[in-house]
């Protein structure tokens, strides 16, 4: 059963990696940042359109990188669209904890479905070098929301 689940997760990652959703620069952009992981060469630009009430109307990205970084960016853009900034911050914290901690992550009730979708990337915690690949788009999104246009990881 565990092997079947692992295979399904790999299929989802490969699908999002090869056919990323929300890829490209949208016409309306209120926030953007460039992210770079010098360890493996992944480069991502995250574009967000946040309305005056603090809701992400649209999220997109472009760049190049491994299947994990592309899949993570693709999933992130799908999941944060339509969320308010508080929800986006909670998603970032929960996702980061899921990728870096061996403990089970408790998502609040309003974000359970979103965290379930992100479980496909939870295996990166077993490979510390891959954690930066999975979290690059998320750190880049946070930088964009903070007005910092550079999210290079060290």
Give the pLDDT confidence of 39-91 residue by residue, as tens digits: 889 999 999 999 999 999 999 999 999 999 999 999 999 999 999 999 999 99
Confirm whether 106 is domain-assigned: yes
| CATH assignment at residue 49 | 3.90.1010.10
Confirm whether 59 is domain-assigned: yes
What distances in angstroms separate CA 115 from CA 3, 94, 118, 128, one per listed residue? 21, 8, 5, 20
Confirm whether 41 is domain-assigned: yes
Confirm whether 154 is domain-assigned: no
Sort strands 42-50 and 31-37 into parallel, antiparallel or unpaired.
antiparallel
What's the pLDDT at 105?
72
CA 111 to mean position of chain CA atoms: 15
pLDDT at 132 over 90: yes
What's the pLDDT at 23?
98
The mean per-residue pLDDT over the stretch 129-143 comes to 96
Confirm whether 24 is domain-assigned: yes
Confirm whether 151 is domain-assigned: no
Q: How many domains does the chain have?
A: 1
Residues 6 or more apart from 80 whose CB is under 8 A from it? 48, 56, 59, 87, 88, 91, 141
Give this prediction's pTM.
Answer: 0.92
Give the pLDDT confidence of 8-39 residue by residue, as tens digits: 778 999 999 899 999 999 999 999 999 999 98
pLDDT at 106 over 90: no
Confirm whether 153 is domain-assigned: no
The count of C-alpha atoms lying within 13 angstroms of the C-alpha of 120, restricted to the half-sphere facing its C-beta, is 24
What range does the domain containing 38 cover?
A: 2-146
86 vs 102 pLDDT, higher one = 86
Confirm whether 152 is domain-assigned: no
């Amino acid at each position: 059963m565990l092997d079947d689940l692992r295979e399904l997760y790999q299929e989802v990652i490969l699908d999002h990696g090869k056919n990323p959703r929300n890829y490209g620069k949208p016409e309306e952009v209120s926030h953007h940042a460039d992210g770079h992981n010098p360890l493996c060469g992944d480069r991502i630009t995250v574009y967000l359109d946040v309305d005056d009430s603090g809701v992400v109307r649209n999220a997109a990205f472009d760049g190049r990188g491994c299947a994990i970084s592309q899949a993570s960016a693709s999933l992130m853009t799908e999941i944060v669209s339509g969320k308010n900034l508080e929800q986006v911050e909670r998603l970032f914290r929960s996702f980061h904890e899921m990728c870096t901690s061996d403990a089970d992550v408790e998502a609040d009730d309003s974000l359970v479905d979103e965290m379930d979708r992100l479980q496909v990337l939870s295996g990166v915690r077993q490979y510390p070098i891959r954690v930066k690949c999975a979290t690059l788009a998320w750190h880049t999104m946070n930088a964009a929301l903070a007005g910092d246009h550079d999210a290079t990881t060290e």
